[in-house]
């Protein structure tokens, strides 16, 4: 049973437009959520996070929104750039088991010039 779901395996966006990557979770114990970006032949790199006490966290072009009642979070990238083309992983953890970070399957974002 997948606890963290990224239902879109891929997303294609025009440069300059908004990219929206979605993530759903099923475990109500999750209270910390993270997004990672991964280029081919590299390890994932941390992008942005949000704790369950917030519903929005912004860092430059990246904003993560959390809807706890819907158990849904999303990553917005505005404006999208070709260098943003990568696989994006959503991850979640419960602070009581911080070592157990659960990842989604990833969404491959392609930003076309």
Partner 1 sequence: EAQVTQNPRYLITVTGKKLTVTCSQNMNHEYMSWYRQDPGLGLRQIYYSMNVEVTDKGDVPEGYKVSRKEKRNFPLILESPSPNQTSLYFCATLGEVGAFFGQGTRLTVV
Q: Which stretches of the chain bind partner 1, using CB under 8 A?
A: 6, 9, 34, 36, 41-46, 49, 89, 91, 98-106
CB of 113 to partner 1, least distance (A): 27
Judged by beta carbon, residue 11 or residue 101, the one nearer partner 1 is 101
Q: What angle do CA 104, 66, 59 make, to 5 degrees?
A: 90
Paired strand residues for 33: 50, 92
DSSP state of 105: -
Extract the tokens encoding 32.
């910390």
CB 2 to partner 1: min, Å: 9
Nearer to partner 1, 32 or 65 (CB): 32
**Which CB sits closer to partner 1, 61 or 79?**
61
**Cis ω before 45 (30° cut-off from 0):** no
């Amino acid at each position: 049973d997948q606890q963290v779901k990224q239902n879109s395996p891929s997303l294609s966006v025009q440069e300059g437009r908004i990219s929206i990557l979605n993530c759903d979770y099923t475990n109500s114990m999750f209270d910390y959520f993270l997004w990672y970006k991964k280029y081919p032949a590299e390890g994932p790199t941390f992008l942005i996070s949000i704790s369950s006490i917030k519903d929005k966290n912004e860092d430059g072009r990246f904003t993560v929104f959390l809807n706890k009642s819907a158990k849904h979070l999303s990553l917005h990238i505005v404006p999208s750039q070709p260098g943003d083309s990568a696989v994006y992983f959503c991850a979640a953890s419960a602070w009581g088991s911080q070592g157990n970070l659960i990842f989604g399957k990833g969404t491959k974002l392609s930003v076309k010039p």
